[in-house]
């Protein structure tokens, strides 16, 4: 059977994605009950991080440990990747030693090239273009709190970045409406928007995007790798903070999500992220359960 990768949400079918969310909820219940489920004894996960991480590293590593397997953290600082060994060669070698690999890097092309030379499943743990693992956790959080996301309206407020692109793919795959409000010049990639068709509405006004929404979400104004743009972006995004006025435009039972790390007083007010509509801690926890479901699917098949 051909190796399956998870480089974007488009690599799985709608049915597979929905089954994955159901399985993630199941694995969460099992974990909370203290049930031991260790289907990955003697399996090894390779984790390549070319950018910082708290949630992604800990959730993958803890998830593999709970499954009875092992995880190896690899950074360019102390591997040959940082000294110019080609990504294709690294993929060929690592995939003869480990069973599954996750990568956090810059260019999407890099992870695609890695996957093309890998014998084992490769997971996108964030690139400049996408962050699909985060969307599994986000959809799981919505489903747990409000039920199916199909047909719902989601408001994305902020940068047309990797998270925004993954929300666009999620709108297509999980079948919801997505209203994006970003400053002019910070729109998502038009090709990614076009693929999702009439599910996407592009606006430049945060309150208009949030109007009647079931879910409101945002992300940092300057992503990893854009640190030197912080000051310029603070000015450009000044009108795009998710605050109480923006949340008041959404449905009264709307939930607030943020992939984290968050900057209170920039993209979100403390009153919103620490307020009653915020489910960001459940969302963060779900990285663990959703990625366990993902690794199980890629290595052991559908459950």
Q: Which of 8, 90, 124, 161 binds ligand NVA (CB under 6 A)?
A: 161
134 lies in the site for ligand CP, by CB under 6 A:
yes
Q: Which of 18, 162, 286, 291 binds ligand NVA (CB under 6 A)?
A: 162
Sign, CA dihedral 20-27-259-90, equals negative
Residue 68 tokens, joined:
């009875």
223 lies in the site for ligand NVA, by CB under 6 A:
yes
Q: Do 27 and 289 meet the contact criterion of CB atoms below 8 Å apart?
A: yes
284 lies in the site for ligand NVA, by CB under 6 A:
no
- Stretch of residues binding ligand NVA (CB under 6 A), selected from 175-183, 217-225, 228-236, 276-284: 217-225
Neighbours of 253 (CB within 10 A): 9
CA dihedral 263, 267, 273, 279 (to 10 degrees): -110
Q: Under 8 Å CB-to-CB from 260, ≥6 apart: which residues?
A: 55, 280, 283, 284
CA dihedral 245, 247, 253, 259 (to 10 degrees): -160
Render 1-24 in DSSP notation, one character per residue: -PPP-BSSGGGS-HHHHHHHHHHH
220 lies in the site for ligand NVA, by CB under 6 A:
yes
Return the ∠ at Cα 24 (arms to 127 and 213), rounded to 5°: 70
Number of residues that bind ligand CP (CB under 6 A): 8
Binding mask 246-265 for ligand NVA (x = CB under 6 A): -------------x------
C-alpha 38/C-alpha 67 separation (Å) is 4
Q: Under 8 Å CB-to-CB from 242, ≥6 apart: which residues?
A: 157, 206, 210, 216, 218, 256, 267, 268, 269, 272
166 lies in the site for ligand CP, by CB under 6 A:
no
54 lies in the site for ligand CP, by CB under 6 A:
yes
Strand 255-258, strand 44-49: pairing:
unpaired
Q: Which of 102, 135, 155, 163 binds ligand NVA (CB under 6 A)?
A: 163
Q: Which of 10, 39, 53, 72 binds ligand CP (CB under 6 A)?
A: 53
Q: What residues are annotated to the active site?
A: 104, 131, 134, 219, 259, 287
What does 283 bind: ligand CP, ligand NVA, none (CB cut-off 5 to 8 Å by kind)? none
> Minimal distance in Å, beta carbon 20 to ligand CP?
18
> Minimal distance in Å, beta carbon 164 to ligand NVA?
8
> Minimal distance in Å, beta carbon 182 to ligand NVA?
13
> Minimal distance in Å, beta carbon 8 to ligand NVA?
15
What does 54 bind: ligand NVA, ligand CP, none (CB cut-off 5 to 8 Å by kind)? ligand CP
Q: Do 102 and 45 meet the contact criterion of CB atoms below 8 Å apart?
A: yes
Phi and psi angles of residue 69, each rounded to the nearest 5 degrees, phi first: -100, -165
What does 81 bind: ligand NVA, ligand CP, none (CB cut-off 5 to 8 Å by kind)? none
Contacts with ligand CP by CB under 6 A lie at: 53-56, 126, 134, 259-260
Contacts with ligand NVA by CB under 6 A lie at: 126, 131, 161-163, 219-220, 223-224, 259
């Amino acid at each position: 059977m051909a190796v399956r990768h998870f480089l974007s949400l488009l690599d799985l079918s709608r049915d597979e994605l929905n089954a994955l969310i159901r399985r993630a909820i199941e694995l969460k219940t099992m974990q909370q009950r203290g049930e031991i489920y260790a289907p990955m004894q003697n399996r090894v996960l390779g984790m390549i991080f070319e950018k910082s991480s708290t949630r992604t590293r800990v959730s993958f590593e803890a998830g593999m440990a709970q499954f009875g397997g092992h995880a190896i953290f690899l950074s360019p600082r102390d591997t040959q990747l940082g000294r110019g060994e080609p990504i294709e060669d690294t993929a060929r070698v690592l995939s003869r030693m480990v069973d599954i690999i996750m990568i956090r890097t810059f260019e999407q092309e890099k992870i695609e090239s890695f996957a093309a030379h890998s014998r084992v499943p490769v997971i996108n743990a964030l690139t400049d273009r996408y962050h699909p693992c985060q969307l599994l956790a986000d959809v799981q959080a919505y489903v747990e709190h409000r039920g199916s996301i199909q047909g719902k309206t989601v408001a994305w407020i902020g940068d047309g970045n990797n998270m925004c692109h993954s929300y666009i793919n999620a709108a297509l795959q999980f079948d919801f409406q997505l209203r994006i409000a970003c400053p002019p010049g910070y729109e998502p990639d038009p090709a990614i928007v076009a693929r999702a068709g009439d599910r996407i509405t592009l606006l430049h006004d945060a309150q208009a995007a949030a109007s009647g929404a079931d879910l409101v979400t945002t992300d940092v104004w300057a992503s990893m790798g854009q640190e030197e743009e912080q000051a310029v972006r603070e000015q450009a995004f000044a009108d795009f903070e998710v605050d109480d006025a923006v949340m008041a435009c959404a449905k009264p039972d709307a939930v607030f999500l943020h992939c984290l790390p968050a900057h209170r007083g920039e993209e979100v007010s403390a009153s919103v992220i620490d307020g009653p509509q915020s489910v960001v801690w459940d969302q963060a926890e779900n990285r663990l359960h959703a990625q366990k479901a993902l690794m199980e699917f890629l290595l052991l098949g559908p459950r």
